[in-house]
């Protein structure tokens, strides 16, 4: 059943669950404005614990490790605002929230450049075999300079293929242009001519991007359409010298197919920040020397994570005050 908008209950004391450890600034921002139930732990709450702790509360500040689905929302009918500390919100069943009159918010913008930096680090790191080189050296295997020791693939002047030309895709495109790259992109929504000109990028069909890019980088949200956007067929369509980078969401890539492609030399290397079943990593991927793997750290700088936490606090407070939160993802809920 659809819930009443919060503005009809101005005198109710609002309380908010913060589901997991956050930067202190977020708690300070909430203090005195709402009652806070803070799970100051790096352990996520289980579904049952979330249900219990959210009972009677009007707001939740949650993280991408929290699954917010229809049964949970039904069990906590007082909840009006779910504020996710992430730009992605595939951990939340947004249509179910909208149906129930629950506002959902995210933290876009503040992490754009930090995430683009990490994507570019993976482009450089996978292309120049940095992880492999470091393991080689630490294992005491460096016995002398060789003409073909750990040779990789040039980034400067190469062709960069970007799937998803939103904020982060554009920030990666700018970095690519800084490296004198030709930048191709594919997105269901093509940018205007002016925007393409300003960014120095070319729109291309999916097959063209796959066939021409030396580096393919993924910056799309996880949806039914983008799940396994890159599978065995797409990997076969890429150049054998190409590199795949994923900082979006793990399920955008068919991980088993990628591991097979890396082992068979169908593509040269991959740089991955996200995985299909986090925190589990496909054992075949772990065995691939040509995979540079990092644990979902694309937005992980102190300044950015602090900003994300404060933004999530601002979003929940606005929603509970009956205002339109600055980063609402389901604005139709207020209609
Ligand atoms: C996000 O914001 O969606 C990232 O995956 C975590 O910063």
pLDDT digits 0-9 by tens, 267-320 = 999 999 999 999 999 999 999 999 999 999 999 999 999 999 999 999 999 999
Residue 304 phi, psi (nearest 5): -70, -45
* pLDDT band for position 3 (cuts 50, 70, 90): confident
**Closest ligand 1 atom to the C-alpha of 86?**
2
Are 120 and 189 within one domain? yes
Residue 169 has pLDDT above 80, yes or no: yes
Atom index in ligand 1 nearest the CA of residue 248 equals: 5
| Mean pLDDT on 51-73 | 98
Pocket test for ligand 1, best of 299, 300, 303, 315 (most atoms within 8 A of CB): 299
Active site residue 146: no
Same structural domain for residues 124 and 47?
Answer: no
* Residues 264 and 307 both lie in one domain: no
Do 217 and 183 belong to one domain? yes
Nearest CA to ligand 1 atom 1: 86
Q: What is the pLDDT of residue 2?
A: 73
Kindly state whether residue 277 falls inside one of the protein's structural domains.
Answer: yes
Picking from 293, 250, 289, 284, the residue whose alpha carbon sits closest to that of residue 268 is 289
Query: Is 72 among the domain residues?
Result: yes
Residues with CB under 6 A from ligand 1: 86-88, 111, 299
Q: How far is the CA of 88 from the centre of ligand 1 (A)?
A: 6
Lowest mean pLDDT among 8-12, 105-109, 237-241: 8-12
Alpha carbon of 46 to ligand 1 centroid (Å): 20
CATH number at residue 36: 3.40.50.720
How high does pLDDT run on average in the chain? Answer: 96
Q: Is the pLDDT of residue 189 over 70?
A: yes
Distance CA 5, CA 306 (A): 29
pTM metric for this prediction: 0.95
What domain range includes position 190?
A: 112-293
Position 30 pLDDT exceeds 60: yes
Residue 2 inside a domain? The answer is no
> Do residue 273 and residue 320 come from a single domain?
no
Whether 216 maps to a domain, the answer reads yes
- Whether 58 is in a domain gets the answer yes
Order the strands of the 35-38 sheet from edge to edge. 35-38, 15-18, 59-62, 81-84, 103-105
Active site residue 296: yes
Residue whose Cα lies nearest atom 6 of ligand 1: it is 86
Question: What span, in angstroms and rounded, lies between the C-alpha atoms of 61 and 73?
Answer: 14
Q: Give yes or no for residue 11 having a pLDDT over 50.
A: no
Q: What's the pLDDT score for residue 208?
A: 98
Does residue 236 sit in the same domain as residue 314? no
- Please list the residues that pair with 185 across neighbouring strands: 162, 203
Average the pLDDT over 159-177 and give the result: 98
Same domain? For 175 and 321 the reply is no
Provide the pLDDT for residue 25: 98
Average pLDDT, integer, range 155-181: 98
Find the catalytic residue in 29, 186, 296, 307.
296
> Which tokens in the block code for residue 50?
């979330």
Q: Does 191 share its domain with 83?
A: no
Same domain, 184 and 77: no
- In a shared domain, residues 176 and 268: yes
Say whether 249 is catalytic: yes
3-class SS of residue 215: strand
**17 within a domain of the structure (yes/no):** yes
User: Do residue 178 and residue 38 come from a single domain?
Assistant: no
- Whether 28 has a pLDDT exceeding 50, the answer reads yes
Q: What is the pLDDT of residue 7?
A: 52
In this structure, are 99 and 118 located in the same domain? no
Residues 129, 249, 282, 305: which is the catalytic one? 249
Is position 3 within any domain?
no
Q: Is residue 136 part of a domain?
A: yes
- Give the total number of structural domains in the chain: 2
């Amino acid at each position: 059943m659809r819930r009443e908008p919060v503005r009809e209950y101005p005198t109710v004391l609002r309380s908010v669950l913060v589901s997991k450890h956050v930067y202190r600034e977020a708690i300070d921002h909430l203090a005195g404005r709402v009652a806070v139930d803070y799970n100051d732990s790096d352990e996520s709450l289980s579904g049952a614990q979330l249900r219990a702790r959210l009972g009677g509360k009007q707001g939740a500040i949650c993280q991408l490790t929290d699954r917010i689905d229809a049964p949970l929302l039904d069990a906590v009918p007082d909840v009006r605002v779910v504020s996710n500390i992430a730009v992605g919100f595939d951990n939340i069943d947004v249509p179910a929230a909208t149906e129930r009159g629950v506002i959902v918010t995210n933290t876009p913008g503040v992490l754009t450049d930090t995430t683009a930096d990490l994507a570019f680090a993976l482009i450089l790191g996978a292309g120049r075999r940095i992880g492999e080189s470091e393991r080689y050296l630490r294992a005491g295997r460096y016995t002398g300079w060789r003409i073909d020791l750990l040779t990789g693939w040039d980034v400067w002047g190469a062709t960069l293929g970007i799937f998803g030309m939103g904020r982060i895709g554009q920030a990666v495109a700018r970095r690519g242009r800084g490296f004198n790259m030709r930048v191709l992109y594919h997105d269901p929504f093509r940018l205007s001519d002016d925007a393409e000109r300003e960014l120095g990028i070319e729109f291309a069909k999916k097959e063209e991007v796959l066939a021409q890019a030396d580096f393919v980088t993924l910056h799309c949200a996880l949806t039914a359409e983008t799940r396994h956007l890159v599978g065995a067929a797409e990997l076969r369509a890429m150049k054998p010298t190409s590199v795949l980078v994923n900082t979006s969401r793990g399920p955008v890539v068919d991980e088993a197919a990628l591991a097979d492609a890396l082992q068979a030399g169908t593509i040269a290397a991959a740089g991955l920040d996200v995985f299909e079943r986090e925190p589990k990593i496909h054992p075949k991927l772990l065995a691939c020397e040509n995979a540079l793997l990092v644990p979902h750290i694309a937005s992980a700088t102190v300044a950015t994570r602090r900003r994300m936490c404060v933004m999530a606090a601002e979003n929940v407070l606005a929603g509970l005050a009956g205002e339109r939160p600055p980063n609402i993802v389901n604005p139709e809920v207020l209609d």
